[in-house]
Structure 1
Amino acid sequence: MEIVFLCLFAFLAGLIDSVVGGGGLIQLPALFVFLPQMPIPAIFGTGKLSSIAGTSVSMWRYARNVEINWRALLPAALAAFVFSFLGARAVSHFNTELLRPLILVLLIAVAVYTFFRKDFGSIHAPRLAHTKEVWYGVAVGLVIGFYDGFFGPGTGSFLMFIFVGVFGFNFLTASASAKVVNVATNLSALLYFGYKGYILYHIGIPMAISSVLGSVVGTRIALVKGSGFVRKLFLVVVTGIILKFAYDTFR
């Protein structure tokens, strides 16, 4: 019976993640609730298998309908791939919980800025020259890649905010661009967990299929509704992440 509920949550996570990121906020707690007896690395590894399936399909669907700046994003994805692995390796040497207050403050700043800037992300107007886009992309890959491997929550939201605020993309293009980097970080982590034997394939594969279905639905909604809808859902999801962070930080 647990697998039915896990597939349902994987579908919802794929749907939300395909539009604005933050699917882990739905999927990861569900895995902990329905698989309490499983070791934590197996929970994360199984979740990554589900996540990368949905994110990959979402990226593919966006690539067919939204212009993606591959010249800037491929170097960013490569850097993110490498540093996500390094971040995963570094987890055992540091207390990740020390990051919670800092990430909470950053997420609140992202939400407040996006809420009060009504035109933020409504127009696609890239503001960086090609060379700068490449180097800024690599910098984003280094920082966000390491963060996703080391800690993770809010990665999709941070990526979208950066692509809108720094690169000048609209929310729809930012969502598509975030998926490229997210696929790289998820693949890196998946390879690490797979090598260590921390993936429950009998659970992860059905969840991956459900995540793909959710991603197909979510991507279609985003493409039809446009940047305005993505911006509103972005604010909703970031608010949810903030509340979860606040609860975990101050409980």
Structure 2
Amino acid sequence: MVSMELVVLLFFVAMLAGAVDAMAGGGGLITIPTLLAVGLPPETAIATNKIGGIAGTCAATLYFMRSGKIDIRRSIKIVATVAIGAVIGGWTLTNSDSKLLLHVVPVLLVLFSIYFVMSPKVGASDSRERMTPTIYAATLGPIIGFYDGYFGPGTGSLFAFSLVALLGFNLVKATAHAKLLNLSSNLASALFFGFTGSIAWTYAAPMLIGQLIGSTIGARMAVAYGHRLIRVVLSTVAIAISVRLSWHG
């Protein structure tokens, strides 16, 4: 039985995580350590976090779609391969103790952050496409999806950074599409974890509501304040995730 105090704590933690996640990704940096701190084992914490993640990414995706920031037809192939990668990542989590990704992801996030800091105009507007959506769907899409199914924190940041750098999206558009792709990976991995019985539903329920509210707030802020706010939040979250994962490893 989960106490009312814990329900309230999980709700507000999830609301904060949802707001951060909608703008830059990295909400799992807040929620997963919280779930571990209240006693859930790592696999259960990661699986349970996907439920709140679904609510948060769904709310943010719907808001971005209503704001005209998402091109569904251009993204459908990527959505599909991200989902496949996420299922494989979830299977790997439940059948392996590999720590390789926990060492690789911090390095990638730091490099992306340095790139953004050193290139202040990057993401201010759409730029030249360096990779087609089809190639992205066949390569980076399933790789990042795999990471989300396996662990998660920083997935939205990886999507946003890569969409700007490779598909030429501006930061607001990249953030919007990152939510759509993150929704795909969250749904796929949550279905897998649900079938394996890895989700602690009594912990997941208050987090679902909290992230639903927080993500709506964060998405509104991203659209209202644009690439300048997203740049600051994205770089800050990326560095924080890198430090956290490096320490964890």
Question: Residue 206 of structure 2 corresponds to which residue in structure 1?
Answer: 206
Give matches, 1:81-120, under 5 Å.
81-120=83-122
Letter of the structure 1 residue corresponding to residue 181 of structure 2: V
32, 35, 60: which is aligned to 1:31? 35
Q: Contact conserved, 2:164 with 2:174, CA < 8 A, in 1?
A: yes
Between 194-203 and 53-62, report the one with greater CA deviation: 194-203
Q: Where in structure 1 are there 5+ consecutive unaligned residues?
A: none
Q: Contact conserved, 2:46 with 2:152, CA < 8 A, in 1?
A: no
Give matches, 1:1-150, under 5 Å.
1-34=5-38, 36=39, 38-125=40-127, 127=129, 132-150=132-150
Between 229-238 and 42-51, report the one with greater CA deviation: 42-51
Between 159-168 and 38-47, report the one with greater CA deviation: 38-47
**Which SS does the other structure have where 1:166 is aligned?**
helix
Q: Contact conserved, 2:85 with 2:146, CA < 8 A, in 1?
A: yes
Give matches, 1:143-182, under 5 Å.
143-182=143-182
> Taking structure 1 as reference, are residues 42 and 101 closer, same or farther at Cα in structure 2, changes over 3 Å only?
closer
Q: Contact conserved, 1:72 with 1:134, CA < 8 A, in 2?
A: no
Alignment deviations for residues 75-116 of structure 1 (CA, whole Å, 9 cap, x no partner): 111111112111211235544323333222222211111111
CA distance in 1, matches of 2:146, 2:193: 16
Letter of the structure 1 residue corresponding to residue 58 of structure 2: S
Give the Å deviation of 1:142. 1.7
**Which SS does the other structure have where 2:120 is aligned?**
coil
Give the Å deviation of 1:228. 1.2
**Which SS does the other structure have where 1:124 is aligned?**
coil
> Taking structure 1 as reference, are residues 65 and 18 closer, same or farther at Cα in structure 2, changes over 3 Å only?
same
**Which SS does the other structure have where 2:55 is aligned?**
helix
Letter of the structure 2 residue corresponding to residue 10 of structure 1: A
**TM value normalised by structure 2:** 0.92
Alignment deviations for residues 138-170 of structure 1 (CA, whole Å, 9 cap, x no partner): 423221112222333321111111100001111
Runs of 4+ in 1 over 6 A off after TM superposition: none
Between 16-25 and 146-155, report the one with greater CA deviation: 146-155
CA distance in 2, matches of 1:119, 1:93: 43
CA distance in 2, matches of 1:92, 1:156: 22
Question: Residue 226 of structure 2 corresponds to which residue in structure 1?
Answer: 226
Alignment deviations for residues 179-199 of structure 1 (CA, whole Å, 9 cap, x no partner): 111111101111011112222
RMSD: 1.7
CA distance in 2, matches of 1:199, 1:119: 42
